[in-house]
Structure 1
């Protein structure tokens, strides 16, 4: 194979995913919107801690998510046969330079990505159950306390039924899943976009002075103490859960390998995903701050997304009956959360499937059903999600899952640099300027710092340290799964050798 230094065309070799090419950029975009829609839960929670200072904070990290999407667009377009999203692009890069290390980088990265995305389905169904039980007045006083958090029986029932129902479109394949995702995405995008620019419908309700200097909730400066902690410590700590949400729209990359024209579709889907993410993640908190104001946001009741959305909408449209707005906002949030859960079931199953093809995960997960769906991997997601539902509340699951999710991007960003540096002549249907390889390294360093330092500080500030370290422990579960696969390979090798010997002897 001739490399770039000799000026010839380079061909990148890798294991093909062989999934059905049944969608295009729109399918990848709408299913990936599940990540963008996570703003519905993030914005209220963060605003009640930071106030207007949250806006430049989230804008910065959201822009890093856009850069991540652009980098993944290049990687996914140059490796259209890979499936499983961002972690699958690391293997070919490390395999070229460090062939013995590469399998472990691939296995750990894909496994961490799965640990990160798999809990999203039960988490969002748990959140959706809160709105469903409230709207229909269901009893939430009876339940169990499996770990440390009380869980109502209705929450467990709704979560279990929701996961089983969503497994149907996930099982039927990308075409059916895209159709369902399109309906859910449109139903959630319209009101979300509408509210992001809601102030334009009632300019008198907006007070733009609330943004001056981006103050804390108590009116102090951007760098003042927050809840008794130094500002820098709080920003570093909360960057950990914030990145869990603002880079989640990279999920569109999971489906580029199932696009009919991945070279073209990767660029369109990932660019649109990042662009819409910046719009929603910046405009929604701006709208909340200028319409509600710091005094209203300081109300602890507004940490509940439903309450903040209803209060905001009532200020914009004061003539609309409160009960109507309550139902509208709750339905919008439920739809958004269901879409995100569907994406979780569909997306991270591709990671297990690709890891099995690459040789780091049991052969059991290489199976495809008649719809070209990695059904065994997907049903493993459903079973694991049902187990995660017993872990507790949203904060606990956030802390656990982000150890895997955020950490998985560090090897991928380094892989981008390696591929641009070592294999510049590989065909790239979409190619960023050369200096982006250094941006990828800087982004890897930033994400690693937030993952390690921010994760530890956030876990201790929030009293969730046990879940952070459970996430670390879950990462090491890769090893027994890898060892089992090597045992399978040795057994298969012995069987083939015995068959060959028997054939030659006869």
Structure 2
């Protein structure tokens, strides 16, 4: 009897939890991109307090995502996959909304970091090269060209395979640790730290509305270490490696997000940071103050390497999120394909093209992540509320890591908190205390596009009727094989 063989594409399980943790070393680079602007708005001490609070919220969320990651260890997509699985019983459109918004935010890290890399390199090594060109709403300059080159380099490297990408991650992660240590600890040894440089400008800057806007912005960076959950299908032992990577990355990020703003803020005053119109080049001033002009060049090179690490993490996470939703039928099927190296090559190319547009269209890094942040924060709202729904709707689903009942309450509080930040930070106070309501509208447009693509996939490609609710199983299909209890939702 003849049999037909069907080639099934799947992500390669080659990572350890330590590999996932090293990928999360990129997260401080996101802090580097936004720290200057936050100091300008909040003062040095205000920035320290809010960044520390925000990263602690992110750490609590990461622990919750540990349970969810072990429930769906064979699926790519990270927290948006958790949101989709939880909400599709009630509203199938939540999955594409959460995932496409999440993908846009993570993928736009390429443009954000590209601008920062280009600005640092120009300020340190090509200070006299200040030419610019513009036309049709787009700009071109040396920092933008350097950023474009960095994006193309990292995207190309990811196209050839995961192990090469992880090797690059180890190299750049090690280089990043040196400037981080200098900014976090050396000011106290060298005597450059002064408590007189710590200013609290929140009250005069706008009070509670300003706090809500900036906590909304900070989530884009300080929640980012959840990215290691997107690699769950690629860990050798997903049930053990995923929660270990999540917790280790959370502990590391809490330390950096608390100590780096404090060390840098105590070295440079608010006035010194705001004197830099780019809100990026001041790092060169800080390194020169702490280690001298000679070693400052070395620190900038290491810092740029760390920023390349964040580019790499953005490509890893964003491409797998887009691949995951295509595989689950939430966007066009052409994006759910792996290349010969078993990585989501098409998703990587889409992200690269989009970011080449973003880096030349927007005026600053902060404006780019302001545009992408709406979808990212909503993804956390849906994932955290999804934790509650899954506890109620799928009590028999295997949970290798099951948190105590207290975490159900914590998840509910965090979901509401993030929703408050979205409403007030993204909408109510966006114009007066943020970077303009037009940036939020871009995020709304991205979410609207996600629904259009979802409908096209469902009706146009899969030839299925559009339905707002999906039936869900109470246990995985192989539950009997793994000894899990069998039931019906």
**TM-score with structure 2 setting the length:** 0.86
C-alpha separation in 2, matches of 1:17 and 1:354: 12
Instruction: Tell me the alpha carbon deviations over residues 357-383 of structure 1, each in whole angstroms, 9 at most, x when there is no partner.
Output: 111211111211122112111211112
Q: How many residues align?
A: 454
Instruction: Give SS of 1:473's match.
Output: helix
Q: Of 180, 185, 192, which aligns to 2:180?
A: 192
Asked whether the equivalents of residues 110 and 355 of structure 2 are also in contact (C-alpha less than 8 Å), the reply is: yes
Structure 2 residue 258 is matched with structure 1 residue 268: no
Shift, 1:328, TM fit:
2.5
Alignment of 1:251-262 (within 5 A): 251-262=227-238
Structure 1: runs of 5+ lacking an equivalent: 1-15, 218-222, 494-506
Alignment of 1:59-74 (within 5 A): 59-74=52-67
Closer, same or farther: CA 146–243 of 1 in aligned 2, 3 Å: farther
C-alpha separation in 1, matches of 2:343 and 2:124: 35
Asked whether the equivalents of residues 407 and 451 of structure 1 are also in contact (C-alpha less than 8 Å), the reply is: yes
Closer, same or farther: CA 160–298 of 1 in aligned 2, 3 Å: closer
Shift, 1:390, TM fit:
2.6
| Match in the other structure for 2:103 | 114
| Match in the other structure for 1:304 | 279
Structure 2 residue 200 is matched with structure 1 residue 216: yes
Q: Of 182, 190, 193, which aligns to 1:206?
A: 193
Closer, same or farther: CA 31–120 of 1 in aligned 2, 3 Å: same
Shift, 1:23, TM fit:
0.9
Asked whether the equivalents of residues 111 and 365 of structure 2 are also in contact (C-alpha less than 8 Å), the reply is: no
Instruction: Tell me the alpha carbon deviations over residues 278-335 of structure 1, each in whole angstroms, 9 at most, x when there is no partner.
Output: 101101122123334x46546523873332x344334444xx3x2x243233223321
Closer, same or farther: CA 300–135 of 1 in aligned 2, 3 Å: closer
| Match in the other structure for 2:21 | 29
Shift, 1:94, TM fit:
2.4
Shift, 1:210, TM fit:
6.1
Alignment of 1:112-191 (within 5 A): 112-137=101-126, 139-147=129-137, 151-191=139-179
Shift, 1:209, TM fit:
6.6
Q: Of 186, 197, 214, which aligns to 1:238?
A: 214
Closer, same or farther: CA 47–180 of 1 in aligned 2, 3 Å: same
Q: Of 193, 204, 209, which aligns to 1:225?
A: 204
Structure 2: runs of 5+ lacking an equivalent: 1-7, 466-489
C-alpha separation in 2, matches of 1:93 and 1:492: 21
C-alpha separation in 2, matches of 1:388 and 1:290: 34
C-alpha separation in 2, matches of 1:343 and 1:300: 31
Shift, 1:122, TM fit:
1.6
Q: What is the alpha-carbon root mean square deviation over aligned residues?
A: 2.4
Asked whether the equivalents of residues 77 and 320 of structure 2 are also in contact (C-alpha less than 8 Å), the reply is: yes
Closer, same or farther: CA 397–360 of 1 in aligned 2, 3 Å: same
Shift, 1:462, TM fit:
4.3
Q: Which has the larger radius of gyration?
A: 1
Instruction: Tell me the alpha carbon deviations over residues 445-475 of structure 1, each in whole angstroms, 9 at most, x when there is no partner.
Output: 1111111211232344345222221111111
Alignment of 1:350-365 (within 5 A): 350-365=320-335
C-alpha separation in 1, matches of 2:408 and 2:305: 38
**Larger displacement relative to structure 2 (186-195 or 264-273):** 186-195
| Match in the other structure for 2:403 | 432
Asked whether the equivalents of residues 161 and 342 of structure 2 are also in contact (C-alpha less than 8 Å), the reply is: yes
Closer, same or farther: CA 82–196 of 1 in aligned 2, 3 Å: same
Asked whether the equivalents of residues 70 and 401 of structure 2 are also in contact (C-alpha less than 8 Å), the reply is: yes
| Match in the other structure for 2:47 | 54
Shift, 1:20, TM fit:
0.8
| Match in the other structure for 1:498 | none
Instruction: Tell me the alpha carbon deviations over residues 54-97 of structure 1, each in whole angstroms, 9 at most, x when there is no partner.
Output: 222222111000011111122112211111221011222224x4
Asked whether the equivalents of residues 197 and 270 of structure 2 are also in contact (C-alpha less than 8 Å), the reply is: no
Shift, 1:240, TM fit:
1.9
C-alpha separation in 2, matches of 1:437 and 1:73: 13
| Match in the other structure for 1:370 | 340
Instruction: Tell me the alpha carbon deviations over residues 228-270 of structure 1, each in whole angstroms, 9 at most, x when there is no partner.
Output: x3x1111112112111111112111111221001111112111
Q: Of 411, 418, 432, which aligns to 1:447?
A: 418
